Amino acid sequence: MTAVEVIGALFAGPGARDYLGEAVTIGEHMLQAAALAEAARADGPLVAAALLHDIGHLRQAPSRRGLGGSSPRANTDARHGEAGARWLSRWFGAAVTEPVRLHVAAKRYLCAVDAGYSGLLSAESVRTLSLQGGPMTAGEVAAFEALPHGRNAVAVRRWDDRAKDPAVTAPRFAHFAPLLEALLRP
């Protein structure tokens, strides 16, 4: 299987049909985020990052996500960005993987610097914020702002927050497959 086929299989698999406390499945959520990035005319790597931002959740077995009850979900909620970026780094460069890695930190960042941001979060995002460390401290904010891909992670985060609408039908994975193919490292 090619890299894009491996990723596509995750979107077609049972993990993509899970609901992680939102009104849409995890797969639909990721597709909606990519469609929002595309509509914003983001560059290719940023559209790919929006598409793949929660791939760390798709790669976790349901029992490890804690979907049936009590929950090692605290571990995946805080670390799914890093786990997903690490896995994707075998195929993609930092322009794709760093916004994926940093999208959880971007939520913490936005909660610290944008007074109205936390009011936009879904109930599930508010719940996971505490598992992810809460709003950043002033020192963490300064460090985040110095990161080369921090701004792109914030863009992915904002699309992530809006990509939870059950009335929206996003393009299927096949729509984004050529973009991913073009972004693969040689």
Domain ranges of the chain: 3-183
Q: Tell me what pLDDT residue 100 has.
A: 97
Tell me the per-residue pLDDT of 83-131, one tens digit each, with 9 for 90 and over: 999 999 999 999 999 999 999 999 999 999 999 999 998 888 888 898 8
Q: Tell me what pLDDT residue 66 has.
A: 43
| The overall pTM is greater than 0.85 | yes
Q: Above 60 in pLDDT, residue 75? A: no
Q: How far apart are CA 126 and CA 169, in angstroms?
A: 25
Q: Tell me what pLDDT residue 19 has.
A: 84
CA atoms within 13 A on the CB side of 56: 25
Q: Are 99 and 156 in contact (CB under 8 A)?
A: yes
What Rg, from alpha-carbon coordinates, does the chain have?
A: 15
Chain-centre distance for alpha carbon 182: 20
Residue appearing with tokens 């793949």: 52
| Domain 3-183 fold | Hypothetical protein af1432 (1.10.3210)
Q: Tell me what pLDDT residue 124 has.
A: 86
Rounded (5°) CA angle 103-167-63: 50
Query: Side chain identity at 161, as an amino acid letter?
Result: D
Q: Tell me what pLDDT residue 76 has.
A: 53
How many CB atoms within 10 Å of residue 12? 14
Tell me the per-residue pLDDT of 16-74, one tens digit each, with 9 for 90 and over: 988 888 889 999 999 999 999 999 999 999 999 999 999 998 887 554 444 433 343 44
User: Taking Cα atoms as reference points, which of 176, 170, 131, 136 lies closest to residue 153?
Assistant: 136
